[in-house]
Structure 1
Amino acid sequence: MKIDVLSLFPKMFAPMQESIIGKAIDRGSLSFNVTDFRDYTTNKHNNVDDYPFGGGAGMLLTAQPIFDAIASIQEKDDQQSAGHVVLLDPAGKTFDHKDAERLAQYDHLTFVCGHYEGYDERIKTLVDEEISLGDYVLTGGELGAMVMIDATVRFLPDVLGNSESASGDSFEDGLLEYPQYTRPADFRGMKVPDVLISGNHAKIATWRLKESLKKTYLRRPDLLEGRKLSNEERDLLDDIKTELNED
């Protein structure tokens, strides 16, 4: 995958060179580049923002630097394309697990990070979709872009050490992930559940499913709304409610 980012603060993306993503870059599984779109401004003061027409507080990013920065990415790409372009915008769709999986299917992603009060609306003619991390406003799009990139890259082949790691994550099947343990089996009197060291894989699978259902029911019941439960899941959920003394 190739990832481009347009930002006024390229140094903020230094963490992208570390840990799992950094290793993916080193192996050649991922190409990552940050472009400072201030380099493409054509005005003599090197400004990338201006006052909004009609008045109002704050400054807006002007269209020209971003249009030209996108064009520079297109010129470098054999397809003459900036790939799938994502605009970081508080008014965009709220990012979730399924979006990360979906974005991981693209060969080329470009993230546009804003600052100030917002964008000249014409910039949005360049983008394929607008995405937000949630119902709050950050000082810029850089942190949001890093979160989305990190969540997305995990789904690329050979990025995680174990190819099955992503498939067992919370939200992958609509449920929160079950509790997990490692050695020692008894740590300061806190013991690993017997079933996990029993060697009975069928019982372990049932325990894990029940624990996932329980965690989801207690912490994120909204995830169960509208979910089509299997007969096994329905029976386990009834058991959970009984254990919790609920009707």
Structure 2
Amino acid sequence: MIQIKNNSAFVKSLDQIAVFTDECNIHFNDEGIKILAFDNAQIIYLEYFLSKDGIGGEIPSAVFGINITEFNKILSKINSQDLLYLDIKDNCLDLIIKGQYSRSFSFPQKIVDEKKLDVYTDDYPINFQIEGDILKDIFISARVVSDAILFDCKDKELAISSEGIYGRYKTKISANTKAPVKAKFSSIHLSNMLKNASLDTKIDVKLSPRHPFYISYSIGNNNLRFFLAHMFI
């Protein structure tokens, strides 16, 4: 049995994952806990990692398929004062909560087909770091007028715009650029990727005309990476 030391960050992280997928495999090993998954529409790929430093006890080597939607419903009932434990068995995963009163839930093992996306994150001509509150506001504002965001980067300046029947939104930010890039992505998916990102967190963003949109940030000691497919311009 292992303990999740920062249960609040763990709960927020898995809630973030549950936005995009119903089922996934949870990988347990001596390095920590890892999740790799595509969204239900196969246009978003996500990676989650919690290192062994955030886990108490000896971590078993196991891969457990789970319905993360149902798992997340139980996690949402945990408060910050509770202690959270996971017990991995042959055909079930026990979630144990100890607080004002103790309770446990058992989740059956599911067979989940898992695919991995190989992306070389060094091969991006544009990369920058931005505060969570700013990027959240950009994506939410763009989503008000359109379901697509256009990124047009040149001369170390990234123009971000969206246009639809409800009007037009545009802004500019500084970015490290190796080559001009023009690309369009879903404003809905981009804003959903930051659902549980705190306002003061630093978010790493990478853009390429050939690779998916890249977003990476942490919730406590939980690390999340998202890759979003292009839309046609």
| TM-score higher than 0.5 | no
TM-score, normalised on structure 1? 0.24
Work out which structure has the larger RCO, using CA pairs closer than 8 Å and 6 or more positions apart in sequence.
Answer: 2
Structure index of larger Rg: 1
Greater helix content: 1
Greater strand content: 2
